Amino acid sequence: MLYSVKMRSAQGGAHEKGGRHISGAERILPADQLDYAVLTMLHRAQEHERGRADFISLKVEEIKPQDVVYKPLLAFSACKADSAAEGQRTAIEELKRAGVSEEAAKHGLALVNGLTDSMRGAMVVDAESGERIDGMGERGVRASKMDCVNSRGYDEYMQQRGLTGDHVREALVLASKVAGAEGMVAELCWSDDPYYVTGYVASPLYGYRRIPVMKERGNGVGGRIFFVRPGTDMQKLINYMEEQVVMIKPEGVPEC
C-alpha cells in the first residue's frame, strides 16, 4: 500500500492567515518509509534557507491503486548559461522551441521577475497571447500528488547520471507530471531558495532542459509558469495538477 505524505511550512502563521511560505515537500511511499520521510520533511521546514518555519503542516493519506496513473520520466539535458541574464535569454529560446510564442515567453519571464515573494503554485499562461488565465492570484495552481514508482531505484538512476540533491530530484518528477497534462506546451521554473540559482524549461517535445543560472545568488524569489494551448480546459487542468495521483516511471527502473 502507498501513502501520500505532504508538508508545507510558513513563517508568521499558517499560509491561510498571511504566513510567508518557507518550504513544501511531497512523497508517495510504502508504509515502511513513512517515518523517515516525515522526519526529513520536518528537518527541511526547520532549517530552510528561506528561514525557520513556525507553522508546519503534515498530511498523510492512503493512496488507492485504482486512483494512480503512470507517466514516463522526461529526458534530461542541460543548456549553457554563465549569468542570470544569459540564462533567461536561453529560457526564452527554449520556450519558443517548445511552441510558446516569443511574446508569451517574454511576458512569462516578466511575470516571474515581477514577483515580490514566491507563490505556492504556478501561474498558467496562454502560450500564444501571454495572458495569465488561471485567476488564482498569489496562490496559483499547485502540482501535487506525484512521485516515482521506486524511490530507491530512482535515486540510483539519478546518481548514475551525476544528478544529486533534492532540487533536481523533485523538479524532474514534477516536470514529468506537468508535461503529461492535456494542453501543456511548456513549463518554466526557477527556485525560491536564495542560493540555488538553477532553473529549467520542460516540455513534452524536448524534455527537461536544465539552465544552470537563472537568477542572482541571494535572491529568495522564484516562480513557476505553465504555458498552455489556447482553449485549454482550466478546471480539467487544475484537477489533474492538484488531485490526480501520478507515479513517474523512469526507463529501466522497476516498480516497487
* pLDDT tens column, 123-170: 999 999 999 999 988 889 999 999 998 777 788 878 887 887 778 888
- Least confident span in 76-85, 142-151, 215-224: 142-151
Single pTM value for the model: 0.88
Q: What is the pLDDT of residue 255?
A: 53
| Averaged pLDDT score across all residues of the chain | 90
* pLDDT tens column, 38-72: 998 888 888 777 777 888 899 999 999 899 999 99
Instruction: Tell me the residue length of the chain.
Output: 256
- The burial of 163, by beta-carbon neighbours within 10 Å (0-12 exposed, 13-18 middle, 19 or more buried), is given as middle
Pairing verdict, β 55-63 and 146-148 = unpaired
In this structure, what are the phi and psi dihedrals at residue 50, rounded to the nearest 5 degrees? -80, -10
Q: What is the pLDDT of residue 256?
A: 40
Give the residue among 41, 24, 28, 6 at the shortest CA–CA distance from 246.
Answer: 28
Is residue 18 within 8 A of residue 10, CB to CB? The reply is no
What would the grid cell of residue 217 be?
A: 545568488
